[in-house]
Structures are given as structure tokens and as C-alpha cells.
Structure 1
Amino acid sequence: MDKLVSDQAEGLRRLLARSGSRVIAVTGGSLGAGCTATVMNLAVALAQQGKDVLVIDECVGDKSVSAMLGSVRGAGNFAAVMRGAGNFAAVMRGEMTLDEAALRHALGFSVLAASRAHREGYSAAQFSVVLRGSADIVLIDAQLDQQGHLSALAMQAHDVMIVTRMAAQAITDAYACMKRLHYAHAIAQFRVLVNHVQSVEDARTAFANLAGVAGRYLAVALEDAGCIAADARMARAEELSRCVVDAFPSTPAARDFRHLAAELQYWPMRPAMSSQTPWMAPAAVTAAQHADQPSAQHA
């Protein structure tokens, strides 16, 4: 009987998880946090678990998802990636279907480059053509603007996941990033992934401290997305233009990415952030950011 109930519960979880594309924007407070590597490895891990995954690459460049995974069909080099960057705008204009525009990786997920120049000027309804397609999960490698704000495209996400490393400055930068995003977009909840950790206990302590500061000074709730082990094979996989999940699947980091991929499929589905966010004038955003709040060093 226990097994029957367990099987039924698992079936229900899977049914609920299929209620539309889950859209997750991934960003971080500082360079080197590992956002792009997180997106790539999650995409591979999710594809291995049978999920249809679309990666939206806002951070188009020579170290982007589009450029680094050389086995993406039609994207063998950075020049080819840039030539295909206009595909996003073509989808928005109805000149291409999403299936035609997205590049397919041999490991089973799709990539669509969306540089700033090609994603500006479109409405939420137009973005839905990309974000509400057939994919089970859409991962956005989100590019913050000069003010540290999300793009209108990334604001269609259901969750924002902040990636940070264990270093004190990285934790401080993650807090500052959440503070900017909170005041710019009225985001009340973030997922936090602690990267490059030596032990789970260290990661839990760092998360607890960050969550305490965010809750006290911003009234923002943080959800623990877990942690990724410090693993020398991560750097080696990058040198090979590979993902650690694919190149070195038995390593600690690969196991952690697979665990995160399995767990995120069952995160509660929230409304897209854009549907919750009241408009705030730029001057009001600036004033709010400089309100009586603690400096980032408290993180």
C-alpha cells in the first residue's frame, strides 16, 4: 500500500510539473559566480532526465552558452553565433518559428541567442511566443543592464536564481544584486545557489546568513536552491568546451547539478514576475535604493 501511495504521489507531482513551461532566470552579483556554467550544466542534466529544455542566451559573447558549446548545430564558432543572433527578433516578428530559430545541441537541448539589440521593444505577449512554447523548462542566462536590472524578457520568468560563490565579497555582491532587483522590480523572493563550495555545511551557513540579512533589511524571502561542489573538473570541462555533467559525470559537481535539475522541476510554480510587478519610475527606484537600508557589507 505504501508503494502504491508513493507511486501515485510521484505521478501527481509529475502531472503538476507539466502545467506549462517553467521559466527560470539565472544571474549573479559578480563576475565569476558561474551563472553561464550553471545554465549549461542544468540544461544538460535536465535533458538527460527527459526534459525538453530551451536556453535563452542573453549574454551573447565568446564565453556564452551559444559560443562555448561548439557542438551546437550551426554554431561552430562565435561568428556563426552572431549571425544567428537575429533569429530571436525574427521569431518576435513572426518571420521564423521557434523550432526554426533555436539551435539544437547534440546533448538534447535548444539554444536561442537574444542579444540586447534584438530583444528590445517587444511586449510580454510577444515574448510568450518564445517562453510559452513546447519546452518543459526555459533557462534564461540573464544579462543585467548598467543599473543592475533585469531585461523585459527575463522579467517573464517565474523564478530568479542568484548564483554566488563562497567568498565573502561574492556573498556581499549577491546581496547587493538582490537589493537592486528588489527595488527595481519588486521581487519578493529569490532562489540562491551557492557555487564552488568545500562542504554542504559551509553552504548552508552562508545561505542562512544571507537569508537572515535579506529578510531583516529587505523583507525578501530566500529559497535554498542547494550548492555545487568545488571541482577542478569544472575548469577542465570549460577548456574542452564541454559541460562537467557530460564530460565528467561521476564528479561531485556533476552529481550536484543533476540533483538540482531533479529538484527544480518540483519547485512551486509562481506567476511570472512581470504579472506581479507594479511600475516604478526610475527616480523612485533610485530613491528606494538609497533609502535607510544597510550597506551590502552586512551580508
Structure 2
Amino acid sequence: MDKFVIDQAEGLRRLLARVGSRVVAVTGGAGAPGRTTTVVNLAAALTEQGKDVLVIDECLGPRSVCTTLGGVRGAGNFEAVMRGEMALADAVGRHGLGFSVLAASRENRARYTGAQLQKVLAGPADVVLIDAQLDAEGALSPLALHAHDVLIVMRVCAQSITDTYASVKRLHFAHAIGQFRVLANQVASVEEAQSALENLAGVASRYLSVTLESAGWVAADPHMPRAVRLSRCIVDAFPSTVAARDFRHLADALPHWPMRPAVSSRSPGTSRLLGAAAAAAADAFVSTVAGVTSAPEPAHAGWRADPPAQRPTTQPA
């Protein structure tokens, strides 16, 4: 009996042993669905829970992770890591909340093979969050192809939902990705968010044979623009707000997502034109969501302060 208990304990230890980092590529459709602010707030929430988090900033420029956070010193040593001149631990910038940031421009990433890029993912981090930049064809970078999960951020309006569907199509045909996670952002109504996520999942399943799993939602919160102006995470600046609690729900759930192989290890995608039925799916989907959204909103730069809505303070994990 004692041996049976010891064997069970040893098996559990092996099961729970961490094997490498959990890599999540976070992206979104056209416009400003809130991909970058999702990355930094999720990083803050995971760090708050004791996780070692590395953020890789692929989308350099005025709306990059580093710019959103007011500048993170020492985050631009990507090439030094790739050349073997610096260890990853010495090359990253460290945010005041405890997570690390590494900037990786398109030009830098293009010079290296997938095996070489693995160097930046082989460190001690529990979770690596990539603010993923899609190319002109809507495909992931060679670095983001190491992700175990692709999380797509969308807003609950007709234009953003349609853009999300288009991103799913491109990513699916480029990389043969069969499962995505979708996060509804800046949500005014939980019921509308749930309905939009369910409708989107149904259309993707019907036309693409793709599984879309809900990652939950983040409330529209008037404190978010203020946090952005302060170059801070709402999780840290306004921890009692509904949006901050929603990011913590997401951070709670992420470690329990089923661990899938990295995108790069799955079957290669096929480059082909979509058939008429698949192309018509976007029109079908707009009709499907018409009952749960207002008129399409134009793409916008930055966060919009939606009015707060009455909603539960908790949501399912």
C-alpha cells in the first residue's frame, strides 16, 4: 500500500513538472481591438500570481508594449541574445511589476531560423506572451510559430467581429491551426459578448472546421484610458475595477488551458484561394451577429471609454 502511494506521488510530480515555457501568441484583427493592452495586463495579472512572465514585443512603434508601458529600459537586446553575446536573463528589460520585456522587430526576426529563435523561448519563464505581428498575408512570424496557443482579441461590434473572422481564416490556411482562443474586449454587455462568441464559434466550425474557444471577456471600463495615459496596467493602477478583475480571471484560467503542440510542429498549412462557400462565410456571419451588435463602428486608434454597464462581478473561469 505504501509503495502504491509513493508511486502515485511520483507520478503526480512528473505530471506537474514544468517542461519549458507556455507560449501564447496574442493577436487581433484590423483596427484597435486592444491586443497590446491585453498583453501587458495579462502579464501583470500572471506576475501577481507568482508566475515568471516574459513579454515579447513584435509590434514596435507608437503603440508597442514598450511605448504603452512608458518605455522599458534594456528591452532591445534581441540580436545580442541571438548572437550569443548576452544571456536572455541579462538581455530583457524588467518592468516595475516584475515581468520581463524583449523587443523583437520584424527585421531582427527575419534573419534567423526557427531553431535559432527558440533561444528566446528556452529561458526560465513560466509563460511567454507574444504581442504578435501578422504579416501582409495575415500569417504569424517565425517566432510566434512557437506558440502553443493563439489568442485573438476582438471587440463586440460588427466590424471587429468580421475582422476577427478574417484573421482566423488567414491563420488557419497559413498554418493549419485548428483551434483558437477568442477574448471579447471592451464589453458593455456580458450577454452580447457570450452571444457573439458563440455565433463566431458556430460559423468558424461550419465553414472552416475550426474550433474557437472562449477565453472570456474584459469589461469596457472608463478607467482604462486613464491607465493608458499613465503608462500603467489597469491591473496595477486600478486593481478593484471590473476590467482588472476580468484580466485576473483570464490569468487564472490560462494555466489550465489544454497544452497543445507548438504551431510550428503541426501539419503545414496550404496556400490556396478560398472557395466560394468559405468566402461567403463573412457575409453569413455579419447576418448572424446583426442581432447582437449595433451598427458597424469604424476602426479607431486607442482605447474608447465605453459607459460602464451593469454586469456580474464574477465570470466563469
Kindly report which structure 2 residues correspond to 1:32-47, keeping only aligned pairs within 5 A, or say none. 32-47=32-47
Match of 1:111 among 101, 110, 113: 101
Tell me what 1:78 maps to.
none
TM-aligned CA distance change 1:52 to 1:163, over 3 Å? same
Question: How many Å separate the matches in 2 of 1:100 and 1:168?
Answer: 44
Matched residue SS, 1:205: helix
Match of residue 274, structure 2, among 289, 292, 298:
289
Aligned-pair CA distance for 1:291:
5.4
SS at match of 2:273: helix
- Supply the distance in 1 between the matched residues of 2:209 and 2:174 (Cα, whole angstroms): 15
In the other structure, the counterpart of 2:297 is none
Unmatched 5+ stretches in structure 1: 1-7, 76-83
Q: What is aligned with 2:235?
A: 245
CA 1:13–1:31 in structure 2 vs 1: closer, same or farther (change >3 Å)?
farther
Q: Give me the whole-angstrom Cα distance separating, in 1, the residues matched to 2:169 and 2:19.
A: 31
Match of residue 298 from structure 1: 284
Selected match of 2:200 from 210, 217, 227? 210
How far apart are 1:265 and its partner, in Å?
1.0
Amino acid at match of 1:266: H
The aligned counterpart of 1:54 is 54
Note if contact 1:143-1:150 (Cα within 8 Å) is conserved in structure 2.
yes
CA-CA distance at 1:292 after TM superposition: 3.7
What is the CA deviation profile of residues 191-241 of structure 1, one whole-angstrom value per residue up to 9, with x for unaligned ones? Answer: 000011122222111110000000000000011100001101111100111
2:245 aligned to 255, 273, 291, which one?
Answer: 255
TM alignment of 1:1-299, pairs within 5 A: 16=16, 18-70=18-70, 72=72, 74=73, 85=76, 87-278=77-268, 280=270, 285=271, 287-290=272-275, 292-293=277-278, 294-299=280-285
Gaps of 5+ in 2: 1-7, 286-317
CA distance 1:176–1:275, shift in 2 (3 Å): same
CA contact (8 A) 2:172 2:269 kept: no
| Shift in Å, 1:96 | 1.2
Task: Decide whether the 8 Å contact of 1:194 with 1:227 is kept in 2.
Answer: yes
Paired AA for residue 238 in structure 2 = F
Q: Give me the whole-angstrom Cα distance separating, in 2, the residues matched to 1:17 and 1:162.
A: 28
Task: Check whether the contact 1:41–1:243 (CA below 8 A) recurs between aligned residues.
Answer: yes
Cα deviation code 1:225-258 (max 9, x no counterpart): 0000110111110011111101000000000000
Q: Describe the shift of the 1:255–1:13 C-alpha distance in structure 2 as closer, same or farther (beyond 3 A).
A: farther
CA deviation string 1:16-39 (max 9, x = no partner): 373321000000012210000000
1:288 & 1:130 partners in 2: Cα distance?
34
Deviations 1:136-168 (A, max 9, x none): 000000001111111111111000001000011
**Deviations, residues 45-71 of structure 1 (Å, cap 9, x unaligned):** 000000000000000112211122126
- Kindly state the Cα deviation for residue 107 of structure 1 after the two structures are TM-superposed: 0.3
Between 1:149-158 and 1:117-126, the stretch displaced more is 117-126
Larger Rg: 2
Aligned residues of 1:56 and 1:138 also touching (Cα < 8 A): yes
CA distance in 2, matches of 1:96, 1:13: 33
Per the TM alignment, residue 124 of structure 1 is displaced from its structure 2 partner at its CA by 2.1
Give the whole-Å Cα distance in 2 for the aligned partners of 1:267 and 1:295.
28
One-letter identity of the residue aligned with 1:69:
L
Q: Which moved further from structure 2: 61-70 or 21-30?
A: 61-70
Aligned 8 A contact 1:17 1:266 in 2 = no
Question: How many residues are aligned here?
Answer: 275
Q: How far off its partner does 1:297 sit?
A: 2.8
Structure with more of its chain in helix, by fraction: 1
Report the secondary structure of 2:250's partner residue: helix
User: In the aligned structure 1, how far is the partner of 2:175 from the partner of 2:262?
Assistant: 12
One-letter identity of the residue aligned with 1:40: V
